[in-house]
Structure formats: C-alpha cells, structure tokens
Amino acid sequence: MTTKKRTGPLDGLRVIDCSGMISGGFATAQLGDFGADVVMVEHPEQPDPIREWPPYDEEQSKTSLWWKSIGRNKRCVTLNLSTPEGAALLTELVEDADLLFENFRPGTMESWGLGPESLRSVNEELIYVRISGYGQTGPQSDKPGFGTVAEGLSGWAHVNGFPDREPLLPPISLADLTAAQFAVQAAMFAIFERDIGRGGSGEGQMIDVTLYEPLFRLFLGDVEAYDRNGRIPERTGNQHPSAAPRNIYETSDGYITLSASSQQIFENVMHAIERSDLINDPRFADNDKRVENAAELNNIIETWTQKRPTDDVIKAMEANDAIVGPVYDISDIFMDEQYQARNNIITIEDEDLGELRTAAPVPTFSRTPGDVEHAGPRHGQHNREVYVREVGLAESKFEQLREDGVV
C-alpha cells in the first residue's frame, strides 16, 4: 500500500481517521494541513453529521461550509465497521498506518474486533488515538459526551462570564477544538518516542484523550490555589483575576482590547490617557492594588476612550508603547493588512463551490510549510482510489462490497 505524496513536514505520515464530528475531525485536519495522508472513514449510509451543519453556501444550498473547512486535505472513504467485512478491510488499511483516530463511545471499537490490541497485532507501530467525553476509564467512561458538557465539567463555564450573570458557554466548540490540539501534540509525542527518543522503541501505543481534561489543564494555578487556600475562582467578566488593567473598553465608534499587566505598560497607558498623576496613586501603586481597584481603574480608562474613535485611541496608546488592539468581526479580518501580509486567508479551487477562501495552516514553517490541497471532499469520493488502487481489492470484490453496503 502506498502513502499519497504531500508537501509539508508530515509528508509520509499515514493517518486513518475513524472519528466524526469536531474533536477528531479538527485533529486530523491539522495533521492534513501539514502533509499527512489522512484517510477518513465514514459509514456508507450515515455520513459525518458535520456535512449537514450550517452555514451553507448560498448557491450550493446543501454544501456545508463547516465541512469544507474541517474535511479539507482528507481523502474520504466509506466503510461499515460493524460488519466482519468492514472490520477486515479497516485492518488492511491500518497495516501500514502511523496513526488511527477514533471517537466512538468506549468499548465500541472492541465490540467490532477493532480495539487497540487487535489492530496493533497487525501493526505493532500503530499509535491509536481515542477521543471520548470522559476517557476509557473511570465511573463515567461509558457515558456519551459532548463538548458543551465538558465545558461545564472542566470548570470553564463556571468562570466564564460576568459576576452578576449566569455561567456562559463559548460561541465556538472550545472543548472539542482544545481536545483536538492536545490529541495532535500527544500523537507527535508518541511518534517521537516510537521513532527517535532514546533510539526509538519501535512500538506504538494507545492515547486516551477526553473532552474535559484538556480544558481543565488550562487552569494554571487553580488546583494549587484550592489545595493550599481553598480558593474557588469566580466570574470576572473581561477582567483578569490576576492582572489589571485588562479589559475591553468602549470607544466612540467601537471597542478596543487592552492589557497592561506589567508596571511599565501600566505607566505607558497612564501617559497615553494623560493621567500620569495616577502612576503614584496608592490605589494603583502595583499590580495587586490595581486588581483590588480594577473597577475604578477601568472607569478612568473608559471615560477617556469613549470620547475618541477606535483608530485615534489605538494610535495614542501605541505612541506611548501601550499594548492595545481592535475588536474585529470576520469582515474586519478579511480587510486587515496584518492578516493579508501573512496570507492568513488563502484562495483555493473547490470542485463544488469554485473559488473558495479558507484559513491558511498555522503556524508558519520556514522550510516545510503546510498547505491546503483541497476543501472537504464528497462522501466516499476516494473509495476506488484507496480500496482498489492502494489496498489492492479486485474490482469485482470492490463492487460486491459496495452492493452489500460494506463500502
């Protein structure tokens, strides 16, 4: 079996993606952006639900733009894993694979004879990445999980929002996307250990990623603070519980973001708003005092910003080496010169939509950059390419499996 030639630092890495929805899908999209050959496996009759998520293209009303983004750089095949023939075919697919991703409820892959031990018996180097709501162990491991629940369970929703309002969920799939990033870094850790670390063990392993643990891990210092002091973080709105001033401030025609956690930057802000007298004010003498008196400090700054347009506020702040920025919507991003200079939005050709602009791979590599070869393909588009040309199925066998609903 051959691995499709790609550009990027992961050229030569073969990934079998048996996951659906967001967490696994975004993880393998990241790998695909940087050159991995990602073969995505979907059920023949039940495609990835993302294919039906809005927003849709206005001209191609049944084409999900979500799917075009998260499915990019992947080759899509169909396979019914719950059938003996489908399980056998997946086993052939992983014989020369580096990574397999799956996000079924724990125990599902084992019920089909496709658990880590079964697949590693045919490929001992296989790294098997499992993403689930609660993990493969523990009293809640058999429960289904979604990112929304993880955002509550992790402590994230409790601290997000304003103190006089209810907990607030994010407007993006934060738990899923964070889990995806942890899954990618864990996969790279495992590849390093297998191939390089201490001479390389030559062995694969299973990686157990939950939706709640990656978000929980982002709360630096909170475990220690509760252990030592019984401190429970509360909602602080746009303010940071450990630094001030840090907020969103209204201008006469919009908003700016500002952070001044160091003493020098705070002083620069005071110079910018022509309130140098406040530098030696006991209420704002150091960061601890500023955190205690953040409401007063924010009011002073916003009283100044509200009288001026956003551009004038930013110019005045930057002239004094303060650190500020605008609050953009997506139309602003498309027009911004920094985004343009770094080619953060690129144009590709899509077989369904024609010319399509999409987010460029990040971060930037100097020698082996990522690329977007194509947007999300059609359901089962690469069946013949993968099963006949690469796996080596006879055309008659392939047609029989298709008739039987296996592919």
**Residue 37 β-bridge partners:** 14
Count of Cβ atoms closer than 10 Å to residue 30 Cβ:
22
The dihedral built from the CA positions of residue 298, 299, 302 and 304, taken in this order, carries a sign that is negative
Residues marked as catalytic = 176
Backbone angles phi, psi at 292, to 5 degrees: -65, -35
For the CA atoms of 263, 268, 269, 275, the dihedral, rounded to the nearest 10 degrees, stands at 100
Count of Cβ atoms closer than 10 Å to residue 407 Cβ:
25
Q: Which residue has the tokens 């590693």?
A: 120
| Spatial separation of the C-alpha atoms in residues 152 and 147, rounded to whole Å | 9
Of 240, 127, 120, nearest to 184 by C-alpha is: 127
